Structure 1
Amino acid sequence: MKQSDFLKVVLPFKDKVFRLAKRLLVSTEEAEDATQELYFKLWKNKQKLSEYKNVEAFAMTMTKNYCFDRLKSKQASNLTLIHSNYKEKDTSLDKKVEHNDSVEKVHRLIEDLPEQQKIIIQLRDIEQYSFDEIAKMVDMKPTAIRVALSRARKTIREALIKQHNYGVS
């Protein structure tokens, strides 16, 4: 496989790999390192890529596993998530502050979800993968993914309603 062919295969999902890594790891720097490590591994094994039906799903699975390994390592004992990928122009300051506050609340609620639900909500609601694609990545049945996603969304919805009704942050 030539470099140009490799890039045509793997570059379209680079941003998705980065966003998943950022969701699971500490910071932009950690996510960039994870993305770079994944692409290095893919390049090293570029001759085997044609064996996979869905290279993107394979890459996302590799990213998830790499991030979990990083989180389990001793180096990662002090990692926390910092997530801020929302940017908007031409909005009043109070609307921006209100929106950023809401986005931050949702991100905190996602962080409090069980690990499996956190990954599923990231892959489905943010990355827009199909249930079948997610099933391959996380090694679960699509029906189990639907149940986990439903529970995750319900947990987030109930927490937001509770916060809104009581004014609690």
Structure 2
Amino acid sequence: MKQSEFLKLVMPFKDKVFRVAKRMLVSTEEAEDATQELFLKLWKNKKSISKYKNLEAFAMTVTKNYCLDRLKSKQAGNLKLVHSNYKEKETSLDKKIEAKDSVSKVHEIIENLPEQQKLIIQLRDIEQYEFHEIEEMLNIKQTAIRVSLSRARKTIREELLKQHNYGVS
């Protein structure tokens, strides 16, 4: 396999790999390292790439495992979850601040979710993967994925309602 063919296969999901790594590892540098490790591993095994029926799912699985290994090797307690996908144009300063606060609150809530729910929220709601793709990546049945996703969304919704209602029922 030539370099151009390889790049044509792997470049379409490079950003997704980086975002998942960033979500798990928080540090941009660590996420870049994870992305490089994945592409290095794929390049070394370029002859066997064709045997994977879904290269993107395989890449996401490898990335997830690499990130989990990195987290096990460090103290994960001091990691923070930061994600800034939210951008809006032409809004008042008040609206921007309110939106930024809401996004920060959602990220704070996601940070406190169990690891599996956090990863499923990332893959499904942020990266927009289908359930069967998540099933392949995480090796978890679709029903368990749906339950975890439902619980995570419910937790996020309840926590946001608490904040918006100022704790008043």
Per the alignment, residue 107 of structure 2 pairs with 107
Q: Which whole-Å deviations, capped at 9, do the CAs of 1:32-64 have from their partners, x for residues lacking one?
A: 111111111111111111010000000000111
Counterparts of 2:27 and 2:145, CA distance in 1: 27
CA distance in 1, matches of 2:104, 2:25: 16
**Could you tell me the TM-score, scaled by structure 1's length?**
0.93
1:15 aligns with 2:7: no
2:116 is matched with which residue?
116
Q: Is the 8 A contact 1:71 1:79 kept in 2?
A: no
Residues 34-73 of structure 1 aligned to structure 2 (within 5 Å): 34-73=34-73
Aligned length: 168
Q: Pairwise mapping of residues 20-35 of structure 1 onto structure 2 (< 5 A)?
A: 20-35=20-35
CA RMSD of aligned residues (A): 1.7
Shift of 1:167: 6.2
TM-score, normalization by structure 2: 0.93
Alpha-carbon distance, 1:76 to partner: 6.0
Q: Whole-Å Cα distance in 2 between the matches of residues 4 and 135 of structure 1?
A: 30
Q: Distance in 2 between the 1:37 and 1:135 partners?
A: 23
Gaps of at least 5 residues in structure 1 are: none
Gaps of 5+ in 2: none
Aligned to 2:89: 89
Q: Which amino acid aligns with 1:138?
A: L
Distance in 2 separating the partners of 1:70 and 1:156 = 27
Verify the 8 A CA contact 1:124 1:130 in the aligned structure 2.
yes
Partners of 2:114 and 2:159 in 1: how far apart? Answer: 15
Percent identity over the alignment is 78
Are residues 26 and 13 of structure 1, via their aligned partners in 2, closer, same or farther at CA, if it must alter by over 3 Å?
same
Amino acid at match of 2:155: T
Equivalent residue number for residue 6 of structure 2: 6
Query: Distance in 2 between the 1:30 and 1:86 partners?
Result: 22
- Moved segments of 4+, more than 6 Å: none
Residue 158 of structure 2 is aligned to residue 158 of structure 1: yes
Measure, in 2, the Cα distance between the counterparts of 1:153 and 1:74.
29
CA shift for structure 1 position 80: 3.0
Q: Partners in 2 of 1:103 and 1:28 — Cα distance?
A: 19
